[in-house]
Amino acid sequence: MNGHDYQSAGNILAPWMKKLNERRERMEKEGQDGATLPGMEGGGVPIPEENTSRVVGWLTRRPFVVETEGGKKALFTLMVPRTYHKGGERKRRKSFVPIVAWRALAAQVETLGKDSVVLVEGYLQSWSDKEGKNYRLDLSAEMLEVLQRRESPSDERAPKQEAATA
């Protein structure tokens, strides 16, 4: 296959899923059984504090990377498709998920270009302005895996050697 080694998604995701399961087990051991939400008088239904989301999608453009006091910060958006059937017809819906990555994860995506495929796991985070009118939700990355790399057009590459013409 032209020297490329193609792997199934299961093979790519298996080590990542193992880490995820280990982390969940650790969180369950360290968590409080039967804990209630703060401010609930007389207890209430115990619910787990699980705020983990996982998405796989295509970068809509090159990540915007800035240097902050806390290290690098990358902002980018993933287009996440979903195919479904309605009335015997196959339809496709696209969602656009804003992602924030810090430090090493930001450096990992810094050179990616549009249409790179990335798997991101993190937690949902909401923001609003001071008046509470404008609301924003993003995914703060905790783990990131580049599944298919497309270099940014602005990346400088060694010039290709032209074939000698006789």
DSSP for 57-106, written as a single string:
EEESS--EEEEETTEEEEEEEEEEEEEEEETTEEEEEEEEEEEEEEHHHH
pLDDT in tens, 62-88: 999 999 998 999 999 999 999 888 888
Q: How large is the average pLDDT for residues 18-45?
A: 58
Q: How large is the average pLDDT for residues 84-99?
A: 92
Q: What is the pLDDT of residue 128?
A: 83
**What would the two tokens of residue 114 be?**
């549009």
Q: Which of 56, 51, 63 is nearest to 122 (CA)?
A: 51
Residue spans of the domains in the chain: they are: 50-148
Q: What is the pLDDT of residue 164?
A: 40
Q: Is the pLDDT of residue 29 over 60?
A: yes
Q: What is the pLDDT of residue 80?
A: 93
**Coil, helix or strand at residue 119:** strand
Number of Cβ within 10 Å of residue 59's Cβ equals 22
CATH of domain 50-148: 2.40.50.140
Residue showing tokens 């074939």: 163
pLDDT in tens, 110-141: 999 999 999 999 999 988 888 878 888 999 99
Contact criterion met (CB below 8 Å) for 88 and 32: no
pTM for the structure as a whole = 0.62
